[in-house]
Amino acid sequence: HQAGGVGTSPEVLREVPDGACQDDIALLRRELGNSTLTCENYAATICDDSFAIRACPRTCGMCGPFRYQTMKKFVRPQFSMLPPVVHQARVAKRECRGFAKLFLNQGHNPFLVKAPALDGEREGDIITCIDRATPHAEEFADDARCPEGLGIENSSRCQNGVFRFSRRATYFDAPVYPKMLREAQKDIKAMRAVQWLDIQTVDVTVSALVYSQVEELFTSVSVRFDVDSAGKVRASKRVLSYRDLIETTGISFAGYMFGVIFFCSLGVGHPVYQLYHSRSCRNRVIAFEVFSRMALIIYSAVLLAMWFKQYPMSELYSRLLDQMLGYTGDSEAEFAQMMQEFFSALENIKSRADLFLNFRIIAYILLYMQFIQLMLYFSFHPRMGVLTATINKASSALAHFFALFCMLFMTLAFMAHWMLGTHIEEFQSFSVTLASQARMLFGEFIYASSAIEINGAMLIMYWLYAFTFMLVVFFTLLNFFLAIIVDSFAAVKKDEQLNFTEHDFLHDCFD
């Protein structure tokens, strides 16, 4: 798109009536505390600030309304309806202790002229001590020195020589300090100038709200950078989507859920009748069948009720868009309210995504129950029940095997992490070591790639661990497991050969 504005482009696409958009010199001088300022002599500084919309709109070319011409077709189904927002979580400051306190209070030596940091007094603290267990809960993220030489030290934007930035917002009841990147290059430059990221920052997230018009999909895209206590930065991303089921998709979803409820209700009757009248040893199998079908009925009914209860995500997006379009730029409180609406949208998408993730987990458990039920169905025929019979015969030996395997596996994992975790990336934490050993168990790798960087005693310790793992776990215990299964299968086949009353499965189905 191409936009026109007074003082910004020779191709002006609209006319501004005289007096409709004027610089407010009184506001500029009052806010910045300097009675000599004008928009013309301060344009190089003020026009890069959002305050220019209020004080110097004509000089800075910000007089509306604007008109836009379409230069290219929009060919993608997704678009971001608002500028991205970067926000950080911060921790509180605390009094320095230990060597940090000694370092802050150290003296100076004027004779150390070749070591400038030590030959004179310091103005202010050189380091900041933090309490990572206590969140920063102040109204603003931090403050910075005001620009010198402009006479604005006592203005409303700059009090006592400092100005505050990034007003606090709330995200899942935790304080965050956001910045909307309306003009990314200028905003990032300003953030660098005030050192927006510092030692109090524990994580930084860049978030955007995306809409996909073909699928009616509402998505929150977040890239997060976590800073640990040692200053290491870890990056992660998360994409959460919620789909509004409208028109035929909503009707189809409701139809499927009602179908599951109807057919499962029909299927419960016969097993209940059998369970009531039968006294056979298969009552447990029938009871499991009744339980699994009732679980499907309850799950479908609850999911359907939750779906009817949810209001469309499009309403939330519309409210957020209306909030931004209604922004007049007259107060920081109005902008803070708009930012809070943005975080409310993020919370809503995440809450819905988490809710339906829980439903998916429950659905996965129900599918696993259907899988077990399918195996139990096959166990009614001796020829098709080989799997369940083998597992049943091997159950005692397998229980003892897994007890032995888990103890040895976790002991080796602890040894590897405790001794080698600081040198080998695959063993950097106990959970990572367990995952690495699982990959080694399946033959993905035996020799850790990071082991090439160690030598001396650590290399000997690594090979002692690797040899023990290969000998005990990879070669011995895995073959024990296979031997238990093979022996149990052979016993089941032997029992099957003694049974002369049954035909094969297909013959019995049509007999």
pLDDT digits (tens, 9 = 90+) for 173-196: 899 999 989 888 888 888 888 889
Q: What is the percent of the chain with per-residue pLDDT over 90, rounded to a whole number? A: 24
pLDDT band at 11 (very low <50, low <70, confident <90, very high): very low
- DSSP symbols for 253-322: HHHHHHHHHHHHHHHHHHHHHHHHH--STTHHHHHHHHHHHHHHHHHHHHHHHHHHHSPPHHHHHHHHHH
State the pLDDT at residue 330: 57
Is 50 exceeded by the pLDDT of residue 324? Answer: yes
Residue 414 phi/psi, 5° resolution? Answer: -65, -40
Is 60 exceeded by the pLDDT of residue 121? Answer: yes
Environment class of residue 71 by beta-carbon count within 10 Å: exposed (0-12), middle (13-18) or buried (19+)?
Answer: exposed
| Residue 100 and residue 194 in contact, taking contact as beta carbons nearer than 8 Å | no
Residue 327 phi/psi, 5° resolution? Answer: -70, 130
Pairing assessment for the beta strands 174-180 and 201-212 based on DSSP bridges: unpaired
Burial of 257-284, coded b for 16+ CB within 10 Å and e otherwise, reads beebbeebeeebeebeebbeeeeeeeee
* More reliable by pLDDT, 215 or 59: 59
List Cβ<8 Å contacts ≥24 apart for 72-75.
none
* More reliable by pLDDT, 331 or 377: 377
State the pLDDT at residue 177: 94
| Predicted confidence (pLDDT) per residue in 458-473, tens digit | 889 989 998 999 999 8
pLDDT band at 507 (very low <50, low <70, confident <90, very high): low
CB atoms within 10 A of CB 392: 13
Region 77-105: what's the mean pLDDT?
88
Pairwise CA distance, residues 68 & 4, whole Å: 8
Q: Where on the phi/psi map is residue 172: left (φ > 0), alpha (ψ -120 to 50), or beta?
A: left
Question: Which ranges constitute the DSSP H helices of 9-155?
Answer: 25-32, 43-46, 52-55, 99-104
- Judged by average pLDDT, the poorest of 322-326, 401-405, 506-510 is 506-510
Region 113-142: what's the mean pLDDT?
85
Q: What is the percent of the chain with per-residue pLDDT over 70, rounded to a whole number? A: 88
Count of alpha carbons within 13 Å of 416, Cβ hemisphere only? 30
The residue to which tokens 């002369």 are assigned: 500
- Report, in this order, helix, strand and coil percent for the chain, each rounded to 5: 50, 15, 35
Environment class of residue 420 by beta-carbon count within 10 Å: exposed (0-12), middle (13-18) or buried (19+)?
Answer: buried
Tell me how long the chain is: 511
Residue 46, beta-bridge partner list:
none
What rounded mean pLDDT belongs to the chain?
82
The H or E element spanning position 507 is helix 505-509
Pairing assessment for the beta strands 174-180 and 169-171 based on DSSP bridges: antiparallel
pLDDT band at 6 (very low <50, low <70, confident <90, very high): very low
What Å distances lie between residue 368 and 282, 355, 371, 375, CA to CA?
20, 20, 5, 11
Count of alpha carbons within 13 Å of 275, Cβ hemisphere only? 14
- DSSP symbols for 359-409: HHHHHHHHHHHHHHHHHHHHTTSTTT-HHHHHHHHHHHHHHHHHHHHHHHH
State the pLDDT at residue 154: 56
8-state DSSP, 126: S
8-state DSSP, 450: G
Pairwise CA distance, residues 287 & 297, whole Å: 15
What Å distances lie between residue 342 and 82, 178, 321, CA to CA?
9, 10, 9
Asked, as a colleague might, if the bond just before 65 is cis with ω within 30 of 0, I would say yes
Q: Which distant-in-sequence residues (6+ apart) come within 8 Å of 401 by Cβ?
A: 477, 480, 481, 484
Environment class of residue 51 by beta-carbon count within 10 Å: exposed (0-12), middle (13-18) or buried (19+)?
Answer: middle
What Å distances lie between residue 474 and 403, 437, 443, 465, 508, CA to CA?
16, 10, 8, 12, 43
Region 438-467: what's the mean pLDDT?
85
End-to-end CA distance of the chain: 76
Q: Where on the phi/psi map is residue 441: left (φ > 0), alpha (ψ -120 to 50), or beta?
A: alpha
List Cβ<8 Å contacts ≥24 apart for 144-147.
144/193, 144/194, 144/195, 147/45
State the pLDDT at residue 175: 92
| Residue 134 and residue 303 in contact, taking contact as beta carbons nearer than 8 Å | no
pLDDT band at 502 (very low <50, low <70, confident <90, very high): low
Is 60 exceeded by the pLDDT of residue 5? Answer: no
State the pLDDT at residue 9: 36
Quick one: tokens of 428? 């950097």
The residue to which tokens 């035909």 are assigned: 503
8-state DSSP, 426: G
